[in-house]
């Protein structure tokens, strides 16, 4: 029987998304489940199996499937393991590819979630045809995939491209997951925007803000966005600040690998120009002249998570070439 | 006649070094001249011609030479030009490879000085056999060469690897050449050490220091080193601080490309453990656990400038493979 389909799985800190993908990169059906409600990887895989088996069965059963591709935080392409992922509850080294392969009885490959997304962008997204680009996921955390000369940079051990954990403000905000101070992820993630909101509201107790109508628990990057588009001064300052921090970091990345484009995706990009404009401005201001006005900063046009699902599924076809 | 030799030229901000190199990577003879005393590139090339012609003639004349390889700040491998180099007096875009080729009537190739050094380390130095490493020059300025999968990273436009200009302290010390604030080069270069010395001596007017015996003009990284090994408290703090800034930056580089080793060379490495220990300590402290205790930070064992001369000369042989 011809193996027409692949499964692509994107394991994120909060949610896991999965899809059935054909050889042309069409996502035929997809689903999602919580990641963070599972205390250990085995429980997670059990629920994943229940959810995903239905989709596999409704597409002809596992004989029609060539394999499973997984993108996961701190995923290692060489070993198929997830190692010490600060944004996951499962600690230590998890042999995720092996566990999934046993459960589903399908060949399984795994890579870093952000590398999967970069591959999705390169094969099916805005980075199609580009040889030098960087993707940055602005989600619960900040992930990254670096492409140089058309290849994903994995480094000598499979872990390259952890740009979310780069220190952008030495001695700055504490990142609870890693214990580091001043990392990009502490600022330019949904979590970071929320923390910036709390900080700004606390530091300026006398400035009126729509954000004060929300309880601390309801202060999310979405509520900040909703207030910002209504002209709220503090909400706008929050995006301005977030963009500045992100743009300064992007300038550093450009001076490293000189990419043609930086592709942004993930929840924060829903803020559109509110985040894009200060980001580009800060990036340009921190670049040497030889790099200025050359690098396109663009939003992914793939639907949320599609890039990662597609990129993960591409791992399955990869072995055929 | 067999073309047995190549010329390797390393253009630095202060000095230019050049050598006659054979196919095995032996530097048969070398010389140096000032770079910064020449207001324009044509004058510089005239003096270079006078100096270098003697060496070429004493090795059989130009018929014995296959070509000339040049490493230069902001040198572009694709175009052979030096573009807007902040550490050179010559502004704008200098078609250096073309100018040298015309003057010497020998095929000339050019690349970034730090990329040339990285190539020298990979072919003849401590990085021999490594596929993933970064070289950092700690000289008048800070240069870098990045090797991924055995290839120098040049990016989409030939300018990748300008790690000296990465911002490590946003809003920090002004870099006079670029107008940027807080770049690595403002701290971790010979110039940076001198500035740190002036800063520390000014900020702690009551702390006794051997450094106070020197006039401001004589405060160099060498004098700081000489005082440090005599146990001077401020001089030791200067290297401690410099190493910390450098180590924090190295941690960021590691999280980008996950190299096996970082090779340091240039004037500041003469300080040995005084600079190496705080650098490694700060790097490890700023790495995610998955990267810790994996990356070797080593000094080049090639004589100063030899790496760059050898790497530049390697450009000449490159075309034969």
Q: Assess contact for B107 and B152: CB atoms under 8 A.
A: no
Q: Long-range contact list for A195-200, CB < 8 A, 24+ apart? A: A196/A238, A196/A241, A196/A242, A197/A224, A197/A234, A197/A235, A197/A238, A200/A234, A200/A237, A200/A238, A200/A241
pLDDT exceeds 80 at position A298? yes
Chain A residues 291-310 with CB within 8 Å of chain B: 291, 294
- Tens-place pLDDT, residues B224-243: 999 999 999 999 999 999 99
- What pLDDT is recorded for position A233? 97
B319 min Cα distance to partner chain A (Å): 20
Three-state secondary structure call for residue B286: coil
Measured between beta carbons, the chain B residues lying within 8 angstroms of A149 are 151
Q: Assess contact for A114 and A145: CB atoms under 8 A.
A: yes
Residue of B245, B250, B251, B252 best to disrupt the A interface, most CBs of A under 10 A: B252
Within A113-161, residue ranges assigned H as helices are: 113-124
Q: How far apart are CA B200 and CA B205, in angstroms?
A: 8
Q: Assess contact for A134 and A262: CB atoms under 8 A.
A: yes
Label residue B304 by pLDDT band (50, 70, 90): low
- What pLDDT is recorded for position A256? 97
Label residue A147 by pLDDT band (50, 70, 90): very high
Average of pLDDT values for B99-112? Answer: 96
Task: Write out the two tokens for A308.
Answer: 């990662």
Q: Assess contact for A239 and A275: CB atoms under 8 A.
A: yes
A29 min Cα distance to partner chain B (Å): 34
Chain A residue with Cα closest to B261? A156
- Tens-place pLDDT, residues B37-72: 999 999 999 999 999 999 999 999 999 999 999 999
Interface contact flag, B166 A252, Cβ < 8 Å: yes
pLDDT exceeds 80 at position B181? yes
Report strand pairing: B65-72 vs B27-34: unpaired
- Higher pLDDT residue, A35 or B302? A35
CATH 3.40.50.970 is the classification of domain B5-120+305-318: no
B165 min Cα distance to partner chain A (Å): 7
Label residue A319 by pLDDT band (50, 70, 90): low
Label residue B319 by pLDDT band (50, 70, 90): low
Average of pLDDT values for A251-267? Answer: 96
- What pLDDT is recorded for position B189? 96
Q: How far apart are CA A267 and CA B212, in angstroms?
A: 55
- What pLDDT is recorded for position A247? 98
- Tens-place pLDDT, residues A39-59: 999 999 999 999 999 999 999
Q: Give CA separation, A294 vs A251, A275, B115, B156, in Å.
A: 12, 19, 22, 10
Q: Give CA separation, A1 vs A61, A109, A159, A221, B127, in Å.
A: 11, 22, 36, 47, 50
**Nearest Cβ partner of A163 from B83, B161, B255?**
B255
- What pLDDT is recorded for position B280? 98
Tokens 């989409």 locate to: B156
pLDDT exceeds 60 at position A228? yes
Say how many C-beta atoms besides its own lie within 10 A of residue A279's C-beta.
Answer: 29
Within chain A, residue ranges assigned H as helices are: 41-57, 96-104, 113-124, 190-203, 221-229, 233-257, 273-285, 306-318
Residues contacting residue A54 through CB under 8 Å, at least 6 positions apart: none
Q: How far apart are CA A207 and CA A45, in angstroms?
A: 48
Maximum Cα–Cα distance across chain A: 69
Q: Assess contact for B264 and B296: CB atoms under 8 A.
A: no
- What pLDDT is recorded for position A138? 94
Percentage above 90 pLDDT, chain B: 83
Label residue A114 by pLDDT band (50, 70, 90): confident
> Angle of helix A273-285 relative to helix A233-257, nearest 10 degrees?
50
Measured between beta carbons, the chain B residues lying within 8 angstroms of A290 are 74, 83-84, 159, 162
A290 min Cα distance to partner chain B (Å): 7
- What pLDDT is recorded for position B87? 80
- What pLDDT is recorded for position A90? 92
B18 pairs with which residues across the strands?
B9, B31
Q: Please state the separation of Cα B243 from the chain's center in Å.
A: 17
**Nearest Cβ partner of A162 from B74, B248, B255?**
B255
Is A258 near chain B, with CB under 8 Å?
A: yes
- What's the mean pLDDT when you consider all of chain A? 94
Among A90, A48, A50, which Cα is nearest to A73's? A90
Average of pLDDT values for B119-132? Answer: 92
Q: How far apart are CA B285 and CA B10, in angstroms?
A: 35
Tokens 């979310």 locate to: A164
What is B129-299's CATH number? 3.30.420.40
Chain B residues 171-210 with CB within 8 Å of chain A: 178, 180
Say how many C-beta atoms besides its own lie within 10 A of residue B28's C-beta.
Answer: 13
Q: Number of CB pairs < 8 Å for A and B?
A: 125
Q: Give CA separation, B301 vs A59, A271, A307, B113, B125, in Å.
A: 61, 51, 45, 18, 7
Q: In chain A, where does the domain assigned CATH 3.30.420.40 lie?
A: 5-120+305-318, 129-299
- What pLDDT is recorded for position B114? 86
Label residue A320 by pLDDT band (50, 70, 90): low
Task: Write out the two tokens for A222.
Answer: 């979405």
Q: Give CA separation, B235 vs A9, B10, B230, B283, in Å.
A: 55, 31, 9, 21
Q: Assess contact for B283 and B252: CB atoms under 8 A.
A: no
- Backbone conformation region of residue A67, classed left if phi is above 0, alpha if psi is from -120 to 50, else beta: left
């Amino acid at each position: 029987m011809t193996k027409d389909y692949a499964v692509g799985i994107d394991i994120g800190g909060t949610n896991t998304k999965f899809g059935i993908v054909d050889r042309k990169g069409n996502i035929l059906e997809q689903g999602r489940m919580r990641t963070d409600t599972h205390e250990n990887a085995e429980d997670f895989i059990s629920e994943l199996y229940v959810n995903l088996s239905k989709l596999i069965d409704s597409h002809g059963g596992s004989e029609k499937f060539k394999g499973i591709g997984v993108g996961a935080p701190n995923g290692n392409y060489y070993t198929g393991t997830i190692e010490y992922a600060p944004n996951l509850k499962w600690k230590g080294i998890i042999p995720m590819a092996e566990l999934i392969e046993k459960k589903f009885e399908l060949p399984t490959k795994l890579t870093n979630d952000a590398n999967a997304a970069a591959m999705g962008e390169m094969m099916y997204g805005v980075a199609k045809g580009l040889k030098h680009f960087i993707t940055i996921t602005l989600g619960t955390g900040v992930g990254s995939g670096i492409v140089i000369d058309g290849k994903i940079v994995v480094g000598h051990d499979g872990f390259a491209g952890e740009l979310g954990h780069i220190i952008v403000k030495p001695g700055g905000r504490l990142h609870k997951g890693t214990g580091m101070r001043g990392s990009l992820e502490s600022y330019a993630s949904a979590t970071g925007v929320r923390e910036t909101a709390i900080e700004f509201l606390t530091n300026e107790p006398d400035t009126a803000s729509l954000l004060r109508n929300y309880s601390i628990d309801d202060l999310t990057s979405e509520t900040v966005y909703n207030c910002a588009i209504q002209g709220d001064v503090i909400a706008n300052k929050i995006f301005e600040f977030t963009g500045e921090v992100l743009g300064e970091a992007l300038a550093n990345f450009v001076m490293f690998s000189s990419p043609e484009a930086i592709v942004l995706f993930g929840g924060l990009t829903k803020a559109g120009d509110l985040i894009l404009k200060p980001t580009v401005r800060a990036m340009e201001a921190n670049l040497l002249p030889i790099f200025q006005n050359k690098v396109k900063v663009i939003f992914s046009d793939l639907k949320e998570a599609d890039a990662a699902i597609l990129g993960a599924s591409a791992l399955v076809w990869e072995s055929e070439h």
